[in-house]
Structure 1
Amino acid sequence: MIFSKVTAFAALLAPLAAATRNSTSVKPSGHYDNEAPGCTSWYVVKPGDTCQGIAGWFQVPYDNIYSLNPDINATCTNLIPDIAICLSASPRPSGFVTSYLPTANATTLPRSVPVAAVETPAPEAVAPTVAAPPADEIRSGVVPECKRYYQVFPGDTCESISLAAGIAMTDFMRWNNAAWSCKDLALGSYVCVGL
């Protein structure tokens, strides 16, 4: 019963999220001074935004937030509400991630956490793929047939991870069938997000 309530709650939030997170191709008046030359798309920061969340909303690689906006510090603690950040540029600045090399069987998802689809340019990067993480870093209770993993980062919740992975919360809970609760996600551990 709780899973259907969580899924229903996420579905209710999706239209609100989509309506409040939009990029623009018109350069806003308030923006960081040291953005990448040739910026073609911006997002105006809202109170409470994080680099991780913005990267997820707009499906851009997390590292691109920094390469396109050198004024943003490494811990992303200097985002300023109502100031725009660059989301894409042409030509690409150095350090811009355009693809990751795929490897066998398993996938680790990016740290981004998209909540709803928004109208943005199509992402140019692919989620990084790697071999299965070391067994001692996989959260207890993960099903053995798991093929895609997500590494838990600060601020992650079961709901945000399932949304980022594009999977139902019921699948997330079934694939991570353990005696731990969603309030007990171990930072740095890997959870299953795909079979």
Structure 2
Amino acid sequence: MQRHLLLGLAGLPALLSAQRVSVTCSFATVAANGETCDSMAATWGLDTATFQSLNPKAKCPEVIGGEQYCVVGTVTTVTGEPTTAPATTSTQTTTTTTTEVTSTTVPGNGITTPVPVQPNLVSNCNKFYFVNKGDNCADITARYNLDLSDFLEWNPKAGNSCSGLWANAYACVSVIGYVPKPKPKPTSTSTKPPTATGNGIPTPLPTQPGMTDGCNKFYLVKPGETCADIASRNGVSLSDFLQWNPHAGNACSGLWANAYACLGMVAFSLKSRFRVDCTGDAHNVVNIAGDQGQCINTDCSVGSLEIAAAGVCPDGEVQISYWEQPGCQGKWFGYGYAKRGECRGLWTNGWKFKAMHLRCAKSQDDCVNKGSCAYDPEPAQGVC
């Protein structure tokens, strides 16, 4: 009985083998509030499993803001026997996990910089992104909510077409003193009710940041869509789309998903005002689309037009046609012209007409200047 027990115990060291994990950290960085294991791993070109192995005490998916976490280093896993028994030969297996970066440097600004970096990277960079194969400038700037111009200034070798961006090297995504733009807040899938803006156009929310005034056609951007896709699908030029949605940028990296983009502009917008200097109560708020125009009644309460600068009238020219009676009927008293973005006092200060027809038109093209029509003479007395 005793002999069998000793033989059984002799086999225990093989069952009691254990693993020992050793991390040699070459570079650590401080977690910002709100970051996670996933986001920190992505920032440094790691997968989450590698990040966790470099930080075995981290309680993923959460990290603690203000705490340091290893992002460059070596993980060594040693498997062996904790004790050595007589007549037993111990064995050891070593597994090593390393990140892409082999070393770090501390330049004159005191910032620990991973290597390799993009060529000609700015010297005051304080935040880095490991560029993976297939990444492009638009992807990186969208991830960090950066303007493309800033990214290219910090990584000039990339070039305007991003053809000079190196894979497997670190790019700069922030510099000393740079204040990041607030990230767009996530939006629900439900659409917020439209709001009437100052130009009177019902506008759905949320909209693209910096969207132009005077938009009268909207499109809800879906995740993954590009500016070129949206413009082509809706029959507008890419240059017009970027002009109406300037925050998108030439590379379309600033286009927000789940927010409305502008797909069309009113020809012009205006407010009719009581006094001749565009002060006093607004009698009408008008948005004119296309080149057909619109008749508005003045009710003898309009002395001027406050015309918005935004719009698509050729050369910005707005035609005003004066009519004796409401509904643009009765005698016709000819044309006047105004420009977008100006205050226009009206003929006879508004006392000898009760309606106006407004549209985009050039003065040299009207029938009076071409000699093909004649207007009625000005009445001796006011009609109001």
User: What TM-score does the superposition give when structure 2 sets the normalisation length?
Assistant: 0.25
Whichever of the two has the greater Rg, that structure is 2
Q: Which fold has the larger relative contact order, with Cα–Cα distance below 8 Å and residues 6 or more apart in sequence?
A: 1
Q: Which has the higher strand share?
A: 2
Q: Which has the higher helix share?
A: 1
